[in-house]
């Protein structure tokens, strides 16, 4: 594995050559992030030492692991407890996870397990590949999730309305009712 054989040793020896601010893992390679995996533990230590964040897709790698959601949530909390900067991203998919109780559950979990200042990024789903039978997420669903996050006490709830809209100058950082009302009148991204 490239991460284990090359990247982790380079980071450990401070020879990687690039400043790492974060890592995102998806598909089958999220298994090593589960607690008690030596690769994941080493990565967690380096993340804490060099202050970079780690993200993973909790759906793509979920096949074949019993209680995968609990294990991944435990892993996320472990990174947070170790002092890593963790941000939570939820892609809202119509008909799959767009129920208000899901939004409330996610926001509540973030607040109780990582604190009210942990950023929650809410992203719009765009149909593609094996999920092309779903519709694009309506803006109202994103804004509803955002309002619920604020109501649950989260301080930093961002919505991303466009593909690839993940830059500071083009997102909705909404932290007050006034800003929320303004965001509902216009989209954040061009």
Q: Domain coordinates of the chain in residue numbers?
A: 19-86, 87-190
The pLDDT of residue 155 is 96
Please state which of the ranges 2-6, 14-18, 181-185 shows the lowest mean pLDDT.
181-185
Cα–Cα distance measured from residue 26 to residue 169, given in angstroms and rounded to the nearest whole number: 26
Region 143-156 average pLDDT: 97
pLDDT at 70 over 70: yes
pLDDT at 120 over 90: yes
More confident of the two residues 81 and 175 = 81
Instruction: Indicate the pTM of the whole model.
Output: 0.59
Encode burial over 19-34: b for 16+ CB neighbours within 10 A, e otherwise.
Answer: eeeebebeeebbbbbb
Percentage of the chain modeled with pLDDT above 90? 26
């Amino acid at each position: 594995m490239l991460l284990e054989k090359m990247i982790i040793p380079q980071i450990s020896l401070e020879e990687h050559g690039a400043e790492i601010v974060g890592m995102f893992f998806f598909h089958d390679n999220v298994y090593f992030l589960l607690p008690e995996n030596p690769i994941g533990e080493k990565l967690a230590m380096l993340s804490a030492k060099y202050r970079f964040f780690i993200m993973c897709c909790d759906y793509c790698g979920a096949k074949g692991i019993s209680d995968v959601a609990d294990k991944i949530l435990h892993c996320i909390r472990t990174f947070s407890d170790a002092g890593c900067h963790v941000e939570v991203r939820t892609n809202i998919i119509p008909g799959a996870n767009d129920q208000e109780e899901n939004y409330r559950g996610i926001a509540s979990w973030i607040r109780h397990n990582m604190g009210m200042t942990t950023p929650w990024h809410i992203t719009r789903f765009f149909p593609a590949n094996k999920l092309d039978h779903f519709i694009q997420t309506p803006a109202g669903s994103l804004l509803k999730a955002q309002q619920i996050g604020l109501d649950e006490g989260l301080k930093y709830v961002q919505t991303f309305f466009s593909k690839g809209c993940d830059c500071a100058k083009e997102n909705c950082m909404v932290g007050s009712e006034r800003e929320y009302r303004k965001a509902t009148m216009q989209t954040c991204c061009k």
